[in-house]
Amino acid sequence: MVRNAATPVVGKKVKGVKKTRQITYKFHVDAHIPVQDGILDLDHFEQYIRDKFKVDGKAGNLKDKVRFHKKLNRLYVFTEVKTSKRYLKYLTKKYLKKHSLRDWLHVVSKQNQRAYELRYYNIAGDQEEAAEQEEEETKQ
């Protein structure tokens, strides 16, 4: 009997498509310092990131693939689409520039691999004052 390529072999089971496990990428931006000082509004920051975040080349096309969560002055981003940490830094810097905050704040990567923190720039006067305070404390 001659078999065609289209006819299945009898007695063999055809394996189904394997289900791939969905990977969720987790990032967060820690903005507790500027939020406590009243410089940055976390709700407005979240809305900006939500509007500008691109999925499949389209801004605002989040669907169920990207979720945002705010907790303790931090903005958490959960994505099911492969996203680089650097993209979140790019959007954060863009927000700071738009609201004229880049002169005072910068985005610093934390020791945690998937986190950024917004910090004030160190000014030479602040460092000298801190050194003077430490000297006074050691004398006492």
Q: What is the CATH number of the domain that holds 41?
A: 3.30.1360.210
Please check whether residue 76 lies inside any domain of the structure.
yes
- Residues in the chain where the model's pLDDT stays below 50: none
Q: Which residues of 66-82 are buried (b: 16+ CB within 10 A; e: fewer)?
A: beeeeeebbbbbebeee
Q: How far apart are alpha carbons 27 and 24 in whole angstroms?
A: 10
Please check whether residue 134 lies inside any domain of the structure.
no
Domain range enclosing 118? 25-126
Quote the pLDDT of residue 52: 96
Please check whether residue 136 lies inside any domain of the structure.
no
Please check whether residue 49 lies inside any domain of the structure.
yes
Please check whether residue 58 lies inside any domain of the structure.
yes
Residue with tokens 């704040």: 105
What is the value of pTM for the model shown?
0.73
Q: Do 79 and 65 meet the contact criterion of CB atoms below 8 Å apart? A: yes
Quote the pLDDT of residue 110: 85
Quote the pLDDT of residue 119: 95
Quote the pLDDT of residue 112: 72
What are phi and psi for residue 28, nearest 5 degrees?
-150, 155
Quote the pLDDT of residue 42: 96
Quote the pLDDT of residue 133: 65
Please check whether residue 121 lies inside any domain of the structure.
yes
Quote the pLDDT of residue 10: 60
Please check whether residue 18 lies inside any domain of the structure.
no
When divided into structural domains, the chain yields a total of: 1
Quote the pLDDT of residue 128: 65
